[in-house]
Amino acid sequence: MNTRTYSTWTGGPVWPKWTGGPAIALLVGAILRRDGKALLFGLVACAIAATVATFQFAVFTSFLRAGAAAPRFVGADAWIAARGVECFDFPAPLSEGYAGAVLAALPGARVRPVLAGFGGWAGPGGSAGNVMVIGLEGTNMGPRGFLADASDLARLNLAGPATASIGGITMTMAGTTDRLATFLGAPYVVLPADTARRALGWPPGQIAYLAIDFPGGVPADLDARLAGLAAHYPEISAYTGAGFEARSSLYWQAKTGAGAAILLAAVLAALLDLLLLVNACARFVQRRQADILSLIGHGAGAEHVLALIVAMAGVLVLGSLLAVLLAAPLITMVARPLLPWVTFKSADLVFALGLSLVAFIVAALAARADIQRFPPDAMFRN
């Protein structure tokens, strides 16, 4: 009795002796050994495109984070600002008397005055320019100490506990931080609140912001309370900590367009990666067309041939993903002197994994379409 059946996908015979998974694994290993150079070209092209896309996405997310570096450094649960203020870096004068209204509306809160503004800088060796001054209470730096970001020390010509003039006041660097790297153009420096007031020339009773903390825990209805406070005093705006950080980030993205340009570059690189991967799979099918037809003729079914193509696509995707995981953080470290505000975070890793998953799905679908375009008469002859 003839036990041969026919595949509804290829129209060709399917033999019971076909071993499925083990045979696919052997074929993939043989192809990698004998056709490694051709596959290596496709792998390198996909890896470069995926690395560029992931790095550009890391630059985009870092741009958003750096746009809110100052309010994140202060670390308040809520903020009070003058009406119309769009970004931490460009405040408007606010009366310190609103602290009483805040405490009445938010029992249990702790209010900190914050000063911010651009001030003159005269550093060691005659260097001069502007710095973005952040004035905070409780800095424990002494009245003449200041804090600067480590990435700005060379630009400020600082080394060790150097002396500089900020707003005409002679001060000494008391320490450094790695949380205030910025693209702003003017480095951030943190001063005690009273010293910052004199350096910026702000009159008594005027501040830039009120930073609100909740030592006992953030109230569940904080948004509603802040909205009520802003409605009662229309000359002020009230934000949650996350809301004010997002507002500062979106300000820089909207005003400069740099964030959108960086994101567009990441998307275009991701699309190029998909195109290169599909092309690499198509070239593999083209080069191995005779072998694939021979497999069909020896009893391979639709699922077996498709598994072979998907396995090769998986090799390309996995190889490019490993290259991204190694190269993207390395590129970030190499670019640190030029882009100190760029970091590689877990969100960027998720982007790389998501891109690999999408690439694998697209490549598998494209490979299946390529196989289905084989002439039926060729399959029948095999």
Residue from 284, 271, 251, 241 nearest 87 by CA: 251
Mean pLDDT value across residues 82-100:
96
Rounded to an integer, what distance in angstroms lies between the CA atom of residue 18 and that of residue 3? 13
Which residues make Cβ contacts (< 8 Å) with residue 193, sequence separation at least 6? Answer: 113, 114, 115, 135, 136, 137
Amino acid at 118: F
Per mean pLDDT, which range of 57-61, 188-192, 305-309, 373-377 is the poorest? 373-377
Per mean pLDDT, which range of 37-41, 278-282, 288-292 is the poorest? 288-292
pLDDT for 173 equals 95
pTM: 0.85
pLDDT for 302 equals 61
**Joined tokens for residue 349:** 């890793």
Reply yes or no on whether the pLDDT at 76 is more than 50: yes
**Joined tokens for residue 324:** 């991204």
Which band of pLDDT confidence, cut at 50, 70 and 90, is reported for residue 1?
very low
Tell me if 199 sits within 8 A of 133, measured CB to CB: yes
Which band of pLDDT confidence, cut at 50, 70 and 90, is reported for residue 122?
very high
Which band of pLDDT confidence, cut at 50, 70 and 90, is reported for residue 293?
low
Which band of pLDDT confidence, cut at 50, 70 and 90, is reported for residue 16?
very low
Rounded to an integer, what distance in angstroms lies between the CA atom of residue 210 and that of residue 212? 6
Per mean pLDDT, which range of 26-40, 133-147, 315-329 is the poorest? 26-40
Reply yes or no on whether the pLDDT at 97 is more than 90: yes
Reply yes or no on whether the pLDDT at 117 is more than 70: yes
Mean pLDDT score across all residues of the chain: 87
Rounded to an integer, what distance in angstroms lies between the CA atom of residue 97 and that of residue 292? 80
Reply yes or no on whether the pLDDT at 232 is more than 60: yes
Q: Are strands 78-82 and 145-149 parallel, antiparallel or unpaired?
A: unpaired
Which band of pLDDT confidence, cut at 50, 70 and 90, is reported for residue 127?
confident
Write the pLDDT tens digit of every residue in 254-264. 998 999 999 99
Reply yes or no on whether the pLDDT at 377 is more than 80: no
Which band of pLDDT confidence, cut at 50, 70 and 90, is reported for residue 106?
very high
What are the phi and psi torsion angles at 319 (to 5°)? -65, -45
Reply yes or no on whether the pLDDT at 169 is more than 70: yes
**% pLDDT > 70, the chain:** 85
Instruction: Give residue limits of the domains in the chain.
Output: 12-65+258-381, 84-234
